[in-house]
Amino acid sequence: MTDSETGLKQLALHDLHETLGGKMVPFAGYRMPVQYPAGVMKEHLHTRAEAGLFDVSHMGQILLRPTRGMEALCLGFETLMPVDVLGLKPGRQRYGLLTNETGGILDDLMFANRGDHLFVVVNAACVAADTEHLRAGLSEVCDVVSLTDRGLLALQGPKAEAALARLLPETAAMRFMDVISAEYQGAELWVSRSGYTGEDGFEISVPETVLMAFAEALLAMPEVAPIGLGARDSLRLEAGLCLYGHDIDATTSPVEAGLDWAIQKVRRTGGARQGGFPGDLRILHELDEGPERLRVGLQPEGRAPMREGTELFASDGTPIGAVTSGGFGPSVEAPVAMGYVAASHAMSGETLLGELRGKRLPVTVRPLPFRPSTYKR
Amino acid sequence: MKYTKEHEWLRVEGDLVVVGITEHAAEQLGDVVFVELPEVETMVAEGDEVAVIESVKAASDILAPVDGEIVAVNDKLVDRPGLVNDDPTAAWFFKIKVDDLGVLDDFMDEDEYQDLIG
């Protein structure tokens, strides 16, 4: 549904968010809950201690249905991403990156092999462009179906497994990045054991016919609380995860972004299917020789957060980069940030300076994440 | 108590004006995670950015509501910024010594402020 005055789309669970006291703000073309009455700090800590329910239905859910077999589809998808698609087994999910001709990132995504098709989840702001890009690149091998009748929920935190198992018992046996179908009130849910918080948890694609009932059944559990976009951002920042449009974009390469782990050996120099994706020259070169700049974790000294845009300098005053995401980490109990710096200054432990309100304050390069993940591998 | 349109409250204490942020402002900001206070004995002019307050969402400046001299700051807020959310009316930021308390007449009273945020 679209609001005729603001042009903003409404989530299928809009009324539920309002009932829960959600503060609704415009985000990626939707009216989204940024926080509930508990507030960002408590919502963040609740997710780390119990289980948080996030409505991420704004994200794009896309099916790639093969027209010439799964192998042709997987190989076709590999022409758009520096990722091993063919090697992903049925029932498994993987992180992927759509790249452009200059080796930048058009979007980051999750894709799952669901046996006879691929299921792709993309960033809300990129849905239209991604769909067009996939159609243009994969017209020979699949139908690209952008789904509009399913919501997407994330249940994250140490108690997510126990909570979800009460409704979908078979999910308890899943491991990190497993995907299964499960039935709820006669509808087919697609569950993956993954998330965007660094916690163990699940992402669940739910047909809109049962979305409200499913969300309410989870929220009725004592350990489950609704969590807004504000805490989603601080959770992913502590987990060292990139936010598209901020930490990665069409100018940053996967290698600069420290996402080289997402590029499997088979696609690298010397691999059986090396290269053959947009921007492969730059990306393979950076993998072999190292990039000129790198995304790093940044720990400001003191309590002042260094936010996006904060300029970074070497100790001798040379400008060497900028913060791309920053704020306060409620679990770390200190400000946390990430950003790009010249590779020569990307060593953990190096002290840089970040300019805040005209003053240059010390900030230390450190490895990501700020908090170890608790995935069930 | 008087109020500024920047959502500060002003309380008179002898010849001092005590400055904090209103409950409405604290709610809008969300959880406060960082407070930077001015130096004591600084001379300030109305509108000067004298303190910084950062919440989980954003940074904002606290402006000097009147001309005068900063004679005290609430250091407790630096170590425990969350006090601002716990009780915004008790969590004062700084005290300004003014020549003439008459300058406060220009600010909103409680009813006028409630109308503003209503």
What per-residue confidence (pLDDT) applies to B32?
A: 95
Interface test with chain B among A36, A47, A233, A303, by most B beta carbons within 10 Å: A303
Distance (Å, whole) CA B4 – CA A322? 35
Nearest to B30 among A39, A303, A335 (CB): A39
What per-residue confidence (pLDDT) applies to B57?
A: 83
Q: Which residues of B touch A305 (CB under 8 A)?
A: 33-34, 54, 59
What per-residue confidence (pLDDT) applies to A4?
A: 67
Q: pLDDT tens digits, residue range B13-47?
A: 999 999 999 999 999 999 999 999 999 999 999 99
- Assess B23–A contact: CB distance below 8 Å, yes or no: no
What per-residue confidence (pLDDT) applies to A154?
A: 98
Strands in chain A per DSSP E: 9-10, 23-27, 30-35, 51-55, 60-66, 92-99, 105-113, 118-122, 142-147, 150-156, 179-184, 187-192, 201-207, 224-226, 293-300, 311-313, 319-329, 334-342, 351-356, 359-366
CATH for the stretch A1-241? 3.30.1360.120
Nearest to A328 among B33, B36, B52 (CB): B33
Q: Where are the alpha helices (DSSP H) in A50-159?
A: 70-78, 127-138
Place of tokens 């921007």: A279
Interface residue ranges in chain A relative to chain B, Cβ cutoff 8 Å = 35, 39-42, 230, 234, 303-305, 307, 327-328, 330, 335, 357
Sheet strands side by side (includes B68-73): B2-3, B8-13, B16-21, B94-97, B68-73, B43-44
Q: Name the segment(s) of chain A with CATH classification 3.30.1360.120.
A: 1-241
Q: Is A286 annotated as ligand-binding? A: no
Which residue of chain A comes nearest to B55, CA vs CA?
A328
| Under 8 Å between Cβ of A255 and A76 | no
Q: Give the CATH superfamily of A293-377.
A: Aminomethyltransferase beta-barrel domains (2.40.30.110)
What per-residue confidence (pLDDT) applies to A1?
A: 62
Distance (Å, whole) CA A251 – CA B77? 41
Q: Where are the alpha helices (DSSP H) in A106-207?
A: 127-138, 160-167
Q: Name the segment(s) of chain A with CATH classification 2.40.30.110.
A: 293-377
- Copy the structure tokens of residue B32: 């406060």
Instruction: Classify domain B2-99 at the CATH topology level.
Output: OB fold (Dihydrolipoamide Acetyltransferase, E2P) (2.40.50)
Buried b (16+ CB within 10 A) or exposed e, B77-104: beeebebbbeebeebbbbbbbbeeeebe
- Block means of pLDDT (10 residues each) for chain A, 377 residues, are 78 97 95 96 98 98 98 98 98 98 98 98 97 98 97 98 98 98 98 98 98 98 98 98 98 98 98 98 98 98 95 97 97 97 97 95 97 94
User: Which residues, 6 or more positions from A249, have their beta carbon under 8 angstroms from its beta carbon?
Assistant: A104, A105
- Copy the structure tokens of residue A334: 């200190």
- Packing angle, helices A160-167 and A208-219, rounded to 10: 130
Determine, for residues B52 and A327 on separate chains, whether the beta-carbon distance falls below 8 Å.
no
Domain boundaries, chain B: 2-99
What is residue A30's three-state secondary structure? strand
What per-residue confidence (pLDDT) applies to A190?
A: 98
- Assess B43–A contact: CB distance below 8 Å, yes or no: no
Q: pLDDT tens digits, residue range A63-107?
A: 999 999 999 999 999 999 999 999 999 999 999 999 999 999 999
Q: Which residues of A touch B57 (CB under 8 A)?
A: 40, 230
Comparing C-alpha atoms, which of B87, B90, B111, B109 is closest to residue B26?
B87
Q: Strands B68-73, B94-97: parallel, antiparallel or unpaired by DSSP?
A: antiparallel
